[in-house]
Amino acid sequence: MIQPSIDNLDIKIFADGANIRDILDLNSNRLIRGFTTNPTLMRKSGIQDYSQFAREVLSQVVDKPVSFEVFADDTEEMINQARKINSWGKNVYVKIPVLKTSGESNLEVVKVLAFDGIKVNITAIMTSERVLEFSQVLNPEVPSYVSIFAGRIADTGRDPVPIVEKSIEILEDNRNAEIIWASPRELLNVIQADAIGCHIITATTDILSKMEKIGYSLENFSLDTVKMFFDDAKASNFKI
């Protein structure tokens, strides 16, 4: 059995977050091929000026794709926001949620933007049926991302692998469309996504910090764990 290794991965790793210092540090990391963020991550990081934050990122990240999300909830304003975001840089992908908060599909938004030549990242998708729906309006001449929230699928007790595999199959004839395994929950997801030929996986700093463990000896890991338990018991001065 071939042991997993960072050097054997074909999948592209995108850093997911909204901490400007982390983004700028990760920009020089050879493993990181792009960046994604969203309004929730930005709020958690205390971002107050969306445009200023985005422009600061793009002033430093100039040769890797960066995805920024619209936050409007009606078709016309989503299209307007998307066009403004697109104007910020040639490496920008505009994230469009699969649905409005009403549950209405954003198919028309994506259709307009895709055929305007805007690179879109359709986000928060959780079924291959939605992938099939949006595949019909993507512009095959314009790069695009389709983000499957595999981690959230797994949170419902469902295996996301068949859904991602089916989505890859649906888009196989669109050479400019790439599937993102989004919201991974553990390092194993990187290996799973790579094994099925997924194009991209997003990763938070927590998962990225574990990347060096790919392929690590399980015997050594066992010993590390035993030593940790021993040291913590000793430091606590436990007695029986």
CB under 8 Å to 105, separation ≥6 — which residues?
Answer: 98, 99, 133
Distance (Å, whole) CA 216 – CA 211:
10
How large is the C-alpha radius of gyration of the chain? 20
Q: What DSSP letter does each residue of 169-202 carry, written as one string?
A: HHTTT-TTEEEEEES--STHHHHHHHHTT-SEEE
What CA–CA distances, in Å, run from 240 to 233, 235, 237?
A: 11, 15, 10
Residues in the chain: 240
- The beta strand positions in the chain, using DSSP E, are 12-16, 32-36, 66-69, 92-97, 120-125, 144-149, 177-182, 200-203
Quick one: which of 169, 179, 196, 126 has its CA closest to 14? 179
| Positive or negative: CA dihedral 198, 204, 205, 206 | negative
For 187, half-sphere exposure in the C-beta direction (CA atoms, 13 angstrom radius) is 16
Catalytic residues: 95
Distance (Å, whole) CA 119 – CA 194:
24
